[in-house]
């Protein structure tokens, strides 16, 4: 019984909102919008199934090539610029640690 009350309340709320929108003329505007959209979509040139498959395959190949290029460039930049900085920072860190520990003794 409790479920029927919830359903009734929701139905009344949705009906009230629909009635208000109908009174404002929004429902007619939405219907006109849908009709105009359908007419515009009829004017579009849609690809054939073969064209669609070819374009999809081309996009997949290009994304794979671009991803591979990014991986290669990232690895090269890491080896040439970031990795030596890490080595230098490690050497400086060890030197500082040694100097601090030598002063304690």
For residues 27 and 21, the answer to whether their CB atoms sit within 8 Å is: yes
Q: What is the pLDDT of residue 27?
A: 85
3-state DSSP helix/strand/coil % of the chain, to nearest 5: 90, 0, 10
Q: What is the pLDDT of residue 71?
A: 96
Domains of the chain, by residue range, sit at 1-44, 47-105
Q: What is the pLDDT of residue 73?
A: 93
Q: What is the pLDDT of residue 39?
A: 94
Helix/strand/coil for 45: coil
Q: What is the pLDDT of residue 100?
A: 77
Instruction: Say how far apart CA 15 and CA 24 lie, in whole Å.
Output: 14
Q: What is the pLDDT of residue 4?
A: 87
Name the residue among 94, 8, 21, 4 with its Cα closest to residue 102.
94
pLDDT per 10-residue tile (average), the chain, 105 residues: 85 89 86 94 92 96 98 86 72 78 68
Half-sphere exposure of 98 (CA within 13 A, CB side): 6
| Residues 6 or more apart whose Cβ sits within 8 Å of residue 90 | none
Q: What is the pLDDT of residue 79?
A: 78
Q: What is the pLDDT of residue 52?
A: 95
Q: What is the pLDDT of residue 104?
A: 63
Instruction: Say how far apart CA 64 and CA 59 lie, in whole Å.
Output: 9
């Amino acid at each position: 019984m409790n479920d029927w009350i919830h359903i009734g309340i929701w139905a009344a709320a949705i009906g009230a909102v629909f009635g208000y929108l109908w009174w404002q003329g929004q429902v007619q505007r939405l219907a006109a919008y849908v009709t105009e959209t359908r007419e515009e979509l009829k004017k579009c040139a849609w690809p054939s199934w073969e064209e669609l498959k070819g374009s999809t395959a081309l996009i997949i190949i290009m994304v794979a090539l671009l991803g591979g290029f990014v991986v290669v460039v990232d690895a090269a930049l890491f080896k040439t610029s970031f990795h030596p900085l890490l080595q230098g920072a490690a050497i400086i860190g060890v030197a500082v640690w040694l100097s601090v520990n030598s002063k304690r003794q």
